[in-house]
Amino acid sequence: MAAGWAAVALYVLVMVAVVVGVDVLFFRHRFWERLMVNVGIVLVFAAFYLRFLRRR
């Protein structure tokens, strides 16, 4: 059970790192573009999690 929580925590940390990296590298001074891209990244991570990593 603890390994499952650790995997989810690692997955969330990777998602946060991707969001912050994209923000800093590409969309530093563009609020609306940054918001849209961040929502898209989170949706992609959520879809990947639900499709491949969720326990049944």
Per the CB < 8 A criterion, the answer to whether 11 and 49 are in contact is yes
Residues in CB range of 20: below 8 A, 6 or more apart: none
Q: Alpha-carbon distance 31 to 56, whole Å?
A: 38
**Domain spans, the chain:** 2-53
Neighbours of 37 (CB within 10 A): 16
Q: Look at residue 18 in the predicted model and tell me its pLDDT.
A: 96
Q: What is the pLDDT of residues 12-54, one digit of tens each?
A: 999 999 999 999 999 999 999 999 999 999 999 999 999 988 7
